[in-house]
Amino acid sequence: MRHGKLTPAALRKYGFITSFLAVPVLLYVVFVVWQYIQAFQISFTNSRGISPKFDYVGFDNFTQLFQDDVFWAAVRHHVVLLLAMPLITIAIALFFSFLLNLGGGQRNGRMVGVPGSAFYKIVFFFPQVLAVAIVGVLFQAILRPDKAGVFNSALGAVGIDPVGWLIAPGLALWTIIGVMVWQAVGFYVVLFSAGMATIPKDVFEAASLDGAGRFTLFFKITIPLLWDTLQVGWVYLGIAAFDGFALVQVLSVDRGGPDNATTVLPLEIWRNAFTYSKYGVASAMGVALFFMTLTFAVLTLRVTRRERIEF
């Protein structure tokens, strides 16, 4: 490039890159961006989804939304999910990742994981290969409220009465959160293990030689050096907390019950669109969910931002 002008070689290079990007970008605009634009448009209409005819109703759908107790119940459940699911998942995944990569201490002058680490990584990752619907059906059997359920059968063996894991309003949401954590932990064990693999072993070995114990290695060295990966994991888990549709749909009583104790916004979007044919209201919920997710991601990246540690 000379005097701000592209040379023929540069033009050929950028033309080659553009030829590869043009089709994927076009597909993304058509099937993703345009659908968001349409959702915003439909949220201002009284569309029922069964006819191309509709009227614009302004902010009526949003007004109806903010006066709906079920909508606010779903929002409260998302707040609980945002606080509990990422925190529990990251804590468990970090603990296991540390054990599998550094928990074995020094062996032949090198930091290693606990015996059998390679096998444990496969075991922890196994839930990720199962479809969400399969996980839901599996835990339906495990969490049955009678003695035929796996958990209640184990409790009955020690003389404890069956627990209504999914039918008790105060317990159902936390039970589903537990299933979400069980399914997610394996992925983040692998993610954090990959992050730990990028940290030079010399850092841990030097700290260990200086007398640092596992507690110090974990909190003073591993977490600070893994902060960028933790930040990404928190955002991913937060976005997952705004979803939860499939597991709630399969596991909950009456799809979001009992008494709306487990309902979430994606489930209410589905219900309004495909059960009540209120596509305008469903789209308004989708727009609200979009801004909630976007706000969460921006605030999380902003609040958790810190100076990058070079090593």
Q: Is the residue at 104 inside a domain?
A: yes
Q: What pLDDT, in 10s, does the model give residues 182-227?
A: 988 988 988 888 887 777 777 766 777 666 666 777 777 777 778 8
For residue 1, pLDDT over 50 is answered with no
Residue closest to 267 by CA, chosen among 282, 279, 284 = 282
Q: Are residues 149 and 237 in the same domain?
A: yes
Residues 130 and 6 occupy one common structural domain: no
Looking at the structure, tell me whether residues 66 and 27 fall in a common domain: no
Q: Is the pLDDT of residue 175 over 50?
A: yes
DSSP state of 104: T
299, 239 in Cβ contact below 8 A?
Answer: no
Q: Is residue 21 part of a domain?
A: yes
Q: Pick the more confident residue, 199 or 135.
A: 135
In CATH, what number is assigned to the domain containing residue 145?
Answer: 1.10.3720.10
The count of structural domains within the chain is 2
Contact 69, 167 (CB under 8 A): no
> Are residues 30 and 174 located together in one domain of the fold?
no
For residue 56, tell me if it sits in a domain.
no
Task: Summarize the confidence of residues 92-96 as an average pLDDT.
Answer: 89
Q: Both 17 and 121 in a single domain?
A: no
Please indicate, yes or no, whether residues 14 and 124 belong to a single structural domain of this protein: no
Q: Which of 311, 115, 95, 117 is nearest to 204 (CA)?
A: 311
Which contiguous run of DSSP H or E holds residue 97? helix 69-101
Tell me phi and psi for residue 175, to 5 degrees.
-65, -45
> Is 75 in the same domain as 216?
yes
At 113 the pLDDT is 67
Statement to judge: residues 28 and 129 lie in one domain: no
> Does one domain contain both 212 and 161?
yes
Q: Are 122 and 86 within one domain?
A: yes
What count of other Cβ atoms lies within 10 Å of the Cβ of residue 133?
Answer: 12
Residue type at 60 in one-letter notation: D
The answer to whether the predicted template modeling score (pTM) of the entire model surpasses 0.85 is no
Q: Is residue 47 part of a domain?
A: no
Tally of CB atoms within 10 A around 95? 15
State the Rg of the chain over Cα.
25
Q: Which residues contact 109 (CB under 8 A, 6 or more apart)?
A: 205
Asked if the model's pLDDT at residue 36 lies above 90, the reply is no
pLDDT per residue over 244-300, tens digit each? 888 888 888 888 888 888 999 999 999 988 888 888 999 999 999 989 888 888 888
Q: Name every residue whose Cβ is closer than 8 Å to that of residue 39 and which is 6 or more positions away in sequence.
A: 283, 286, 287, 290
Q: Does residue 101 belong to any structural domain of this protein?
A: yes
Report if residue 112 sits inside a domain.
yes
For residue 55, being part of any structural domain is answered with no
H/E stretch holding 235 reads helix 227-241
Lowest mean pLDDT among 4-18, 57-71, 266-280: 4-18
Question: Omega before 145 cis (within 30°)?
Answer: no
- Count how many Cα atoms sit within 13 Å of the Cα of residue 100 in the half-sphere of its side chain: 27
Are 21 and 158 members of one domain?
no
Beta bridge partners of 106: 111
Cα 133 to Cα 135: distance, rounded to the nearest angstrom:
5
Residue tagged 């909508």 (tokens): 71
Give me the pLDDT at residue 225, please.
Answer: 79
Instruction: Reply yes or no on whether the pLDDT at 121 is more than 90.
Output: no
Residue 12 lies in a domain: yes
Query: Which residue's entry shows tokens 């005097």?
Result: 3
178 and 294 inside one domain? yes
The domain in which residue 20 lies consists of: 1-42
